[in-house]
Structure 1
Amino acid sequence: MRTLKIEPLTKEAFAPFGDVIETDGSEYFMINNGSTRRYHKLATVETAQPDDKAIISIFSAESLEMPLRIRMLERHPQGSQAFIPLLGNPFLVVVAPVGDVPVPGLVRAFISNGRQGVNYHRGVWHHPVLTIEKRDDFLVVDRSGSGNNCDEHYFTEDEQLLLAPNH
């Protein structure tokens, strides 16, 4: 079983899968009479249908036991999905490129510094939210509308991967 190497989350490394949402190194302009920096358009919400709506939710997640066997990934074919940490804690991200099914050899793992969020582009395969802390909260921006917006793919036992943060 292949153990995933956990990479630091950077805009360049994550670009094939989506956007890193962070202010460090991002351009801004001043608003509100010069009292506020606006970091504008850090990510774009994608929706597939004209009647789709972008919605904001909060996910309160519990940690999973590590090391973790990556048995499945999911994708959202109708829209993007963003996770922004609310409590400032690092979290893990496991992704694979857009395709009919995720290819185990192309799966990658990243760790956020706790001040970075991610926006998965439409159709990108990813593991459900992976918090390192016992419990963590995320602001989630995604799509609401008709039609299926969550496909799951389960790996065969031979295809499964291992996520071991302290490895």
Structure 2
Amino acid sequence: MGIEREENMFKTLAIEPLTKEAFAPFGDVIESEGRDYFMINNGSTRRYHRLAEVQTDQQGEGIISIFRANPLEYPLHIRMLERHPFGSQAFIPLFGNEYLLVVAPAGTDQVDPATVRAFRATGRQGVNYHKGVWHHPVLTLTENDEFLVVDRSGPGNNCDEYYFDDSVHLELKLD
């Protein structure tokens, strides 16, 4: 069962600023800006509590990793997206560098190219992709950038990949 199209699709993705509201259909924005907090450690520390939740199935467990990534070449032809059906996946930048996100809604086994969106995150924003949300692998803009990653480990294949057919051309250009 394929996506019905009248003709080939060519779309340049507009890169939107990453905001809590715009990203809500795909997951959580992890940042302290504009968020509630309470004081801990004898008043020396603000705790921005529960900014995101780790989602796992009953067989999985939450794990913490570090990903080191390099930039891809732009303009970038988006050929595939991936999803994690058994758990969420959070990325928190460690070096404070901007990075990009390309996402599409969860809920289907195929990705409608018309629903794909792109965001630019500041180096002070992390994201938590909700379980099943389609997303491009990490898109750093800086050599040897690092991200703290919180996701699921456990039995089963927790990474599905969707490849667009040749009639779809989604392009990501830097401003």
TM-score under structure 1 length normalisation: 0.97
Residue of structure 1 equivalent to 2:81:
73
Residue 3 of structure 1, aligned match among 7, 12, 17 = 12
Structure 1: 5+ residue runs without aligned partners?
Answer: none
Which amino acid in the other structure matches residue 93 of structure 1? L
After superposition, where does 1:86-165 map in structure 2 within 5 Å? 86-98=94-106, 99-165=108-174
Residue of structure 2 equivalent to 1:45:
54
Structure 2: 5+ residue runs without aligned partners?
Answer: 1-9
Q: In 2, Cα distance between the equivalents of 1:157 and 1:22?
A: 37
- Pairwise CA distance, 1:135: 2.2
Which amino acid in the other structure matches residue 60 of structure 2? D
Query: 1:21-63: CA deviations, max 9, x gaps?
Result: 00000100000111100000000000012x3110000000011
Aligned length: 165
Q: In 2, Cα distance between the equivalents of 1:101 and 1:26?
A: 35
Which amino acid in the other structure matches residue 108 of structure 1? R
Which of structures 1 and 2 has the bigger CA Rg? 2
- Pairwise CA distance, 1:134: 2.1
Q: In 2, Cα distance between the equivalents of 1:3 and 1:134?
A: 24
